[in-house]
């Protein structure tokens, strides 16, 4: 058994979270969505986070992705503490470490595919030219090299999900987080999107965490973590 302290100092551990809680609201309407969660993941690992609707999956992913601050607990990315940081520190941490694939993909409707993918790199300070070159490389990688100038509305659901993946990979953030990326896809497209994410972990050494309750893709995970009522459980019912 490896102790928490050892894991915290293991350089392969990219995500480290101990006893994380999150309470939404306060007083009579307070709701504790996470009730003491331990989680970690390593470079090159492809982890799925599974649990029923309302169990806290999106909340946990958002905390790991520096979108939300935890109410309490210890969260570190590459050893850098992110719990206890003020909200205004989150965007810098997110840009440094995280590619986030949101549920419903969140593409910008008025921007073409290439601009959707290059935007995060431009926000990281790269020139338009470099950002576009990288966007084109990634779009070829996800099989959309012939769709650079299309708008999101001209694409199928699976193609949009691939654009969202390319966007999350732009600038090569070491941690890729995806919230139910296959929920709106047919079985074949869902499997190909999942294979692509797995390849990112395998070949790129990214840490990839996918929230899903899609049992068609569980067999592709290196490890499945189950969450119920804001707790990690060993044996889901």
Residue nearest to Mg ion (CB): 58
Q: Which region among 56-64, 77-85, 118-126, 127-135 touches ligand ADP (by CB under 6 A)?
A: 56-64
Residue 64 within binding range of ligand ADP, rule CB under 6 A = no
Which of 13, 14, 50, 59 forms a contact with ligand ADP (CB under 6 A)?
59
Residue 56 partner contact from ligand ADP, Mg ion, none using kind-dependent CB cut-offs of 5 to 8 Å: ligand ADP
Q: DSSP letter at 86?
A: -
Region class of 205: left (phi > 0), else alpha (psi between -120 and 50), else beta: left
Which of 55, 118, 161, 212 forms a contact with ligand ADP (CB under 6 A)?
55
Contact call for residues 39 and 17 (beta carbons, < 8 A): yes
Residue 24 within binding range of ligand ADP, rule CB under 6 A = yes
Residues 6+ apart with CB under 8 A from 7: 13, 16, 40
Residue 26 within binding range of ligand ADP, rule CB under 6 A = no
**How far from 189 is each of 106, 158, 161, 174, 182, CA to CA, in Å?**
19, 6, 10, 25, 8
Task: Considering the complex, state which of residue 22 and residue 57 has its C-beta at the smaller distance from Mg ion.
Answer: 57
Count CB-CB contacts under 10 A for residue 63: 26
Counting residues that bind ligand ADP (by CB under 6 A) gives: 12
Find the shortest distance in angstroms from Cβ 179 to Mg ion: 6
Question: Whole-angstrom Cα distance, residue 59 to residue 75?
Answer: 14
Residue 58 within binding range of ligand ADP, rule CB under 6 A = yes
Bridge partners of 46, per DSSP, are 208
Q: DSSP letter at 186?
A: -
Residues that bind ligand ADP (CB under 6 A): 24-25, 31, 33, 51, 53-59
């Amino acid at each position: 058994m490896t102790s928490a302290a050892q894991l915290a100092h293991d350089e392969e551990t990219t995500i480290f979270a101990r006893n994380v809680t999150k309470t939404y609201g306060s007083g009579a309407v307070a709701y504790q969505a996470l009730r003491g969660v331990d989680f970690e993941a390593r470079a090159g690992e492809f982890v799925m986070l599974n649990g029923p609707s309302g169990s806290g999956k999106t909340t946990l992913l958002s905390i790991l992705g520096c979108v939300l601050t935890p109410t309490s607990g210890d969260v570190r990315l590459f050893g850098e503490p992110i719990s206890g940081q003020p909200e205004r520190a989150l965007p810098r941490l997110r840009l440094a470490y995280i590619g986030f694939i949101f549920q419903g993909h969140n593409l910008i409707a008025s921007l073409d595919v290439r601009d959707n993918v290059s935007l995060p790199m431009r926000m990281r300070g790269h020139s338009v030219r470099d950002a576009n070159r990288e966007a084109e490389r990634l779009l070829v990688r996800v099989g959309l090299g012939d769709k650079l100038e299309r708008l999101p509305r001209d694409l199928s659901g699976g193609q949009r999900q691939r654009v969202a993946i390319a966007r999350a990979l732009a600038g090569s953030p070491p941690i890729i987080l995806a919230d139910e990326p296959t929920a709106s896809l047919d079985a074949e497209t869902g499997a190909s999107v999942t294979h692509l994410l797995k390849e990112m972990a395998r070949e790129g050494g990214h840490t990839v965490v996918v929230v899903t309750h899609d049992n068609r893709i569980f067999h592709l995970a290196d490890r499945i973590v189950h969450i119920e009522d804001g707790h990690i459980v060993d044996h889901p019912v």
